[in-house]
Structure 1
């Protein structure tokens, strides 16, 4: 499980975009988005955290490990 701080998230559209970005590179990953704390938790993944952070950032939401 890895967590990312994603400051630019604000609503349901952001949740969908971030989830799609993660699952595009890790199709079986579980993605939980907490808009209140601006945290994204990714579970069930074997990929490197930097690759996931890069995918989230490319979707327009800069992410850093939390």
Structure 2
């Protein structure tokens, strides 16, 4: 699954996003592209669970195709 996070601007943001995703699924693969403000998550967990923790961490996300 892939998300766009408009306010993800730096390495610190990327680290926080990764930490939030791993709080739902510690084994998830996480690929972050700061240039496109996107994160790709490899997990069998529900997309809404990730969107919820990202929102709670201050990184509202939008699903991407």
TM-score of the pair, normalised by structure 1 = 0.93
Encode CA deviations 1:28-55: one digit per residue, 9 max, x unaligned. 0011110100100001x11110111111
Name stretches of at least 5 consecutive residues in structure 1 with no aligned partner: none
Aligned residue pairs total: 64
Residue in 2 aligned with 1:19? 18
**Separation in structure 2 between the aligned mates of residue 62 and residue 8 of structure 1, nearest angstrom:** 8
**Separation in structure 1 between the aligned mates of residue 41 and residue 54 of structure 2, nearest angstrom:** 11
Runs of 4+ in 1 over 2 A off after TM superposition: none
The Cα RMSD (Å) is: 0.6
**Alpha-carbon deviation of 1:56?**
1.0
Residue in 1 aligned with 2:30? 31
**Separation in structure 2 between the aligned mates of residue 36 and residue 4 of structure 1, nearest angstrom:** 13
TM-score of the pair, normalised by structure 2 = 0.94
Name stretches of at least 5 consecutive residues in structure 2 with no aligned partner: none
